[in-house]
Every structure is written in C-alpha cells, then in structure tokens.
Structure 1
Amino acid sequence: MTIEAPERVIEFPALREAQAELDAKRKSLKGIFDEAGPDYDMSKVKSIAGDTHAKVDHIRQLNAEIDERKAKVDELMVLARAAGAAREAEQVEQGGKDAPVEPERKGQRKSLGELFVSSQACKGYRPGSGQGPSASLDIDLKTLFSTGAGWAPESIRTGRVEMFPTRPAPHVVEFLPQTTTSQASVVYMEETTFTNAAQETAEGGTYQEATLALTERASQVRKVAVFLPVTDEQFEDEPRAQMYVENRLPFMLRQRLDSQALVGDGTGVNLLGTSSVVGIQVQAKGADPIPDAIYKLFTKIRDDGFAEPSVLFIRPAKWQEVRLLKTADGVYIWGHPSIPGPSTIWGVPVVETTAAPATSAIAGDYTNFSELAVRRGIDVQVSNSHSTFFAEGKLALRADVRCALIHYRPKAFGHVTGL
C-alpha cells in the first residue's frame, strides 16, 4: 500500500488488513475478466461454477464486496491521517520538530492564501501584539482570464421544441363518422325522385301512381400525401429528430384533411368538401346579425333537408363577433367575459377553426349524412432509394393516407355567406 506523506499517517493493523482484503477482491475480479476475455464470454470462466447467470451474479456480488471494502479502507485512512497529524502537531508544540513545509508544486502558482501563509509577516505574527500581520505579496500580472480569452459558457438546450404557429388538427374530421373501405371508390345509390301519390281512395277507386327513381353515386378514394428529405446524420446524431419528423408528417396530413373536408373543390385529385357539394343550403347574411343568419340556415336544413345540424364550423374572427354581442345597455348576450361562455349557438356545438372559409360559416348534419371512408390509414415510410439519395447519404420520408369523403344528403348541409 502506498501512503502519501508517511510522517503524517499512522499505520495500524486494521488498515493493512482492510487494504489486503481489498487488493485480494480486486485481483479475484480481474482474474475472472481475464478468463472471460475481451468478448466477456462467460463460458470461458472456469473459476466460477454454474451458468452465465450464476457467474454474472457472482461478479455483481464481488463488485459489491469491493465497494464495501474500499469504503472501509477510506474510512481507516482518514483516521490514520488524523492520528498522524495530531501526533505531528504535538511534536511541534513540544519543540521537538519544525512545522512541516509544504513542497513546492512545480509549474503551479501559489494562491493568495498560500503566499500569505508562507510570508514572514504571517510566520512572525504573535497573538496579543496589538498589530495584525501585513505582507507585501509578489504576484505576477498576466493577461486577464475571461470568457473572451478562456472558455465560453456552455449552454445545453432544453428538451422543448416550440412548434411553428399553425392550425391545430384535427378539428373537423373528428365530427365525421369514420368507416373503412376496400374499394377504389365508395359507390352508393341516391333516391333522386320521390313522388308520394298516396291519398284516400273510395271503394273501387283507382290507386294513384307513385314515382321513385334511384341514381348511382360514387365518391372516389383520394390520396393525401407529403414528402420530406432528411440527411443520415440528422437522424444518427439527434435521437429526437426521427420521432419529431414522424409526428409532424402525419399532423400535416390531418391538417390538410380538415381543410379538404370543408373547402375541397372535388376537381382532379381533390376531395369534395361541404362548401363545394352541389345542392347544399345557402343562407346569405345580408343585414341580419350573424346569429339570426345562422338560425335561418338551421331552419332550411330542418325544413328542406329534414335533418338536424350537428355542428357549426366558423372562423375565430367571425365567432368573436357573436361572442361580443351586447344589448343596448352593454350586457353581453353570449355570456359575461368572466365566465367561459357557451360553445354552442341555438343548441348546436360551435367549432372555431381557420379551416372554415373566411367569409362563411358551414353547418350540417354530419353525424347522420356524412362519412370519411378510409381505404388506408396514415402510413409513414423511409427509404434512401429516391433519386440520388443513396449516394448523397439522404433519406426520403413520405407519409400518406387514402380516403373518400361522402355527403350523402346535400340538403342536410349548408353555409351562411357574406360574413
């Protein structure tokens, strides 16, 4: 055992014994790892009986014993140093020995405290003399060590990623019943002629002829897709990058679906949104207050579409006009500012979303007469085979969803225009 400054440490049997036990345990553990080799193959270890699990358990136990004995040696070393220092101080007091002189540390400057303690003024000071020690210290003046000439402060990023301000999703499609389809289009029959000729008829009288006609309708499955190139290094060097990208791409798809569900024009590969469906109810705002115009639209849906509106989609800026309506004496109609206020109008839930058109509000019986038929749910794929990506060390991430959007009864839907 190597001991610093032997004259200041008192060796005693307990310390030697503890150090010997520690050395023996360390030697035993090293021998096991030597047997196992660089691959830590436990089958090569013959000094321990049992399978790999038993040998690993033995190593754990041996490691715990080493920690325990190391702590004991440290504790005994503290006691030994304390005893040695006490004996040395006693010898100095009795005049049998000079005060210890700390060895010079080569290549290191002394601190202010060390310079003062080693000065003659401090050594010659006698308590009770009425005058404190005063020393002139020889200190080298060098270039100021500051952040400009030394280390710049290190700042570690937090785990937060502040997302770009954009419309949350989904707000719209969650109000549409969702089903699945295995076809390329959803085909159904719509009753386009209904003439009810039923009437009271006298005995022997002629029955009146009714008229019924069906028309085949089809809503094509469309694909909503997005693509993003990413370098290999971005995913390799930042563990959170892949999860971030794989979350944002599906978000983009859901956000696009929200918009298409309301304003998609149905041309080309676009879905057919509510506002573009032929035959929906239309109510112009005109000079009416917004609540009045909305109620008139609801009435048309009920009277002409024989449906019950399940939701109203409106821009936040337009709903603000409703929320801030006041009576002539200044009382808020849609609730006092100190309370949350209703998120309904005429009993129909209101959804504030920027997916709605800027100058209209859309409503309808989405619960009973709409459907989002999903051919394939959101799928995210990664490949390096796009273009020259393999040679450039890039990855192509793509995400898509295939679905069809159906409005079974156009008159069950409508919009207020001119907001």
Structure 2
Amino acid sequence: MSENTELKAIQEALASIETSLGTKLETRLNEIKAGLNVPDQDAKIKQLEAEHAQLKADLQGLEAKANRLDLTGGLRAGGRKSSGELFVESQEFKGRASGRFSVTMEQKALTSAAGSIGSTLQPQILAFQDAPTEPHIRDLLPSGQTTSSVLKFPQRKSLTNNAAMVAEGAAKPQSDFTFEMVTTEVKKIAHYIKASDEILADAPALRSYIDAQLIDGLREVEDAQILKGDGTGQNLLGLYTVATAFNRAQAGDTLLDTLLRAKTQLRLVNRTATGIVLNPEDWETIQLLKGSDSHYVWASVPDGNAQRVWALPVRDSTRLAKGEWLVGDFRRGAQLFDREQSNITVANQNEDDFIKNMVTILAEERICLAIFDRLAFVKNAPA
C-alpha cells in the first residue's frame, strides 16, 4: 500500500472512530444521568479510546514521512521553490496586519524557480509536479549586486599581444591593452496587477499569480533590454545592439554552418563563445534539418534534444526577429548587476481598493548591464 493510500485509510478510520466514540460517550452520559450502570458500554468506550490513540499515532508518523517525501506538494531541504512560494512563505506575508507590505526574494532562488503551485490549503495528498523552468537571457550571464545607482567599469577597447620568445639580455616586447571607463545607470522594470482580497487568504492561487503574471512579466522585459536596449532614457544598452556584425558568410551554408563560423569569428579575435541566442523560428529550422535520406540530423523526434549547438547552450527568444541571432562570450564579455532583486509589494490602501475588497500586487526590480568587451559578441542583422 502506498503512503498516500495508507494515510487516507487511517484518516477515514480515525474519523469513523471519533464519530462512534462521540456517539457512545453521549449515550453513556445520558445513562449515567439516568442512574444506569452499564459495564459493557464502558469497556467499549475504553476500547475505542485505545484504538483512537493508536490511529492518531500512526497518522502522525505517516504525516511526518509524507513531509519528508514531499507527498504534500512541496520540495523540502535542497529543493527548488518558485517565486510565488517564497512570497507566501515569507514572514512579511504571514504577518500581514497592515494594508501594505513588501517581500524581496533572492535572485538565486528565483533563477531556479520551478513554477509550481505547491500544496493546497486542504489536507489532500498530491504528488509534486515539477514544471519546467522557463529559460531567460540572464541565465547565460554572470550575475552580481551593486549598492549604487550608477556603475562605472572598464570596457575593453583593443588588445595588441606582442608576447614573444626573448633571448638573454634582449629587450622585452610591449603589449598594449586599451580600456575606457564607462558609466551606466541602474534601470527599473515594474508592473502590477489587481486581484480580489480573498487571494491573500488563498496561498496556492497567490503563488500562481506571482509566478505566471508578475515575475515572468519582469523577465520578458528584462530579456528585451539585455538584448536590444538602445541605452537611451530608461533603457539598458543591449548586447545585440553593440555586437560586431558577422562577416564570415559562405554561399550554401546552413544555419548550423553559419553559427559555427560565428563561433570561429570570436575565436579569431581571442574570444571564446559560451552561448547562442536566436529566434524560435530559426531554432525550429535547425531542429528540422534533414539528411539526404530524410532523417533528422539534429533532433531525436521522440525525445527531442537539449538546447545546445556546437557545444554551446541555446536560448530561443522572441525578442530577436527571424534571421537575427547572437553568439557571444557571455561569461566574460558582460555581467548583469541587481540593485534591487525582484520585489513584491501588496497594498489595498491606494485608489478604491479598500472599498472594493481588492488588492494591488506590484512587482519590480532594478538592474544594470555592464558590457566589458563589445568584441565578445557577434550578431547577424538581416538587411
């Protein structure tokens, strides 16, 4: 018998005994009031009390085991938690006595958020369903934190490597490294949604709201800014915007050929590609490539393949148009800094939320993108 089935059976038996015990106790009380002495009834009550105590102990043991095995719908120590789960488990949410409170969740936890809605409010035993994590462009970049609203960093402009073999007593050659100090500002991404006041009491629904509507919304705009921000106004300066144009095209090349040539273009200037970003339709083109015998050369139709090309991780993004792609040294060429990690604020004291039993749930973050080496990125920009 599985733990779920056994736990359910014990719960049902316990409920039945509690009902029977209550009935017999009430009957015995009436008999005592009437001056009746019924030893047989007293023995049955003692037997039910003993059975009740044993079943209660069994139930507590199974519930503890269920918690360890995550039968109630959430991962335990070492497991991943969604951004919504982090929010509803926070002390700020649990102690929400005022009309406004906020919770900041660590980016590390959000990056690995599973998107699960977790356990229900009822004592129902459900198997945990681990939803796939939606990949984003930030996953390709190293991350950091800053305490300032303005970030200054050295940007590599040129490198002349004159290292050589040197004879004893001979002059050593000089290499030239040119850097420029660049200043960039932290930018804010934010949006909010309206929800009924009851959602605050319904933890699973609130988790789903935060995961599906708020955090994903921030990430979509973040992807667009990391790739194509123009650096003006409230926009970041994006990687695709500053990347070097691809210049090694050959007639008859497939998209797979072209991406390998772009990887080589970086290697020829002493950079090493660590990732690829392209449009979903172009990614589909790669997956549908067939050999002369009509077999798929890249993908396994039943199982698919990991999103990798030429040993590089691939992110497909609608923020790039069909025909556009970016190959880069994401690990060394740039870094994403968080000034404020994803922050959820809930309030019912603005506008007419209070009288309508509504709440406003706001999500925002403040980030900054430092591009250390513009030559670390190669792009295809169709005419």
Question: Would you call these one fold, judging by a TM-score over 0.5?
Answer: yes
Deviations 1:347-368 (A, max 9, x none): 2222333343332111111122
Asked if 1:189 corresponds to 2:154, the answer is yes
Preserved contact between residue 243 and residue 379 of structure 2 (Cα < 8 Å)? no
Q: Which of 311, 318, 323 is the aligned partner of 2:275? A: 311
Mapping 1:20-99, distance limit 5 Å: 21-23=28-30, 68=45
Structure-2 residue corresponding to 1:180? 145
- The 1:329–1:20 alpha-carbon spacing in structure 2 relative to 1, beyond 3 Å, is closer
Asked if 1:223 corresponds to 2:191, the answer is no
- The 1:25–1:283 alpha-carbon spacing in structure 2 relative to 1, beyond 3 Å, is farther
Report the Cα distance in structure 2 between the residues aligned to 1:71 and 1:206, rounded to whole angstroms.
Answer: 99
Structure-2 residue corresponding to 1:367? 331
Report the Cα distance in structure 1 between the residues aligned to 2:318 and 2:228, rounded to whole angstroms.
Answer: 11
Preserved contact between residue 290 and residue 322 of structure 1 (Cα < 8 Å)? yes
Asked if 1:396 corresponds to 2:373, the answer is no
Preserved contact between residue 280 and residue 414 of structure 1 (Cα < 8 Å)? yes
Preserved contact between residue 226 and residue 399 of structure 1 (Cα < 8 Å)? yes
Q: Which of 197, 200, 207 is the aligned partner of 1:232? A: 197
Structure-2 residue corresponding to 1:252? 217
Give, in angstroms, the shift of residue 406 of structure 1: 1.9
Preserved contact between residue 22 and residue 66 of structure 1 (Cα < 8 Å)? no
Give TM-score, length-normalised by structure 2. 0.58
Preserved contact between residue 284 and residue 417 of structure 1 (Cα < 8 Å)? no
Report the Cα distance in structure 1 between the residues aligned to 2:174 and 2:296, rounded to whole angstroms.
Answer: 56
Q: 1:222 is aligned with what amino acid?
A: K
Report the Cα distance in structure 2 between the residues aligned to 1:405 and 1:20, rounded to whole angstroms.
Answer: 75
Q: Which of 351, 372, 380 is the aligned partner of 1:408? A: 372
- The 1:202–1:395 alpha-carbon spacing in structure 2 relative to 1, beyond 3 Å, is closer
Report the Cα distance in structure 1 between the residues aligned to 2:297 and 2:33, rounded to whole angstroms.
Answer: 82
- The 1:340–1:361 alpha-carbon spacing in structure 2 relative to 1, beyond 3 Å, is same
Mapping 1:275-314, distance limit 5 Å: 275-277=240-242, 279=244, 288-304=253-269, 306-314=270-278
Structure-1 residue corresponding to 2:97? none
Give, in angstroms, the shift of residue 413 of structure 1: 0.8
Give, in angstroms, the shift of residue 225 of structure 1: 0.4
Preserved contact between residue 194 and residue 358 of structure 2 (Cα < 8 Å)? yes
Q: Which of 337, 343, 356 is the aligned partner of 1:379? A: 343
Give TM-score, length-normalised by structure 1. 0.54
Structure-1 residue corresponding to 2:207? 243
Give, in angstroms, the shift of residue 195 of structure 1: 5.1
**Tell me, which stretches of 5 or more residues in structure 2 are unaligned?**
1-24, 35-41, 50-125, 127-131
- The 1:22–1:289 alpha-carbon spacing in structure 2 relative to 1, beyond 3 Å, is same
SS for the counterpart of 1:378 is strand
Tell which deviates more after alignment, 258-267 or 378-387: 258-267
SS for the counterpart of 1:319 is helix
Report the Cα distance in structure 1 between the residues aligned to 2:323 and 2:276, rounded to whole angstroms.
Answer: 14
Q: How many residues align?
A: 272
Preserved contact between residue 310 and residue 349 of structure 1 (Cα < 8 Å)? yes
Structure-1 residue corresponding to 2:294? 330
Asked if 1:417 corresponds to 2:344, the answer is no
Report the Cα distance in structure 2 between the residues aligned to 1:411 and 1:401, rounded to whole angstroms.
Answer: 28
Give, in angstroms, the shift of residue 67 of structure 1: 8.8
Structure-1 residue corresponding to 2:318? 354
Give, in angstroms, the shift of residue 270 of structure 1: 1.5
**Tell me, which stretches of 5 or more residues in structure 1 are unaligned?**
1-17, 28-64, 73-159, 161-166
Q: CA RMSD in A?
A: 4.1
SS for the counterpart of 2:338 is strand
Deviations 1:94-152 (A, max 9, x none): xxxxxxxxxxxxxxxxxxxxxxxxxxxxxxxxxxxxxxxxxxxxxxxxxxxxxxxxxxx
Q: 1:307 is aligned with what amino acid?
A: R
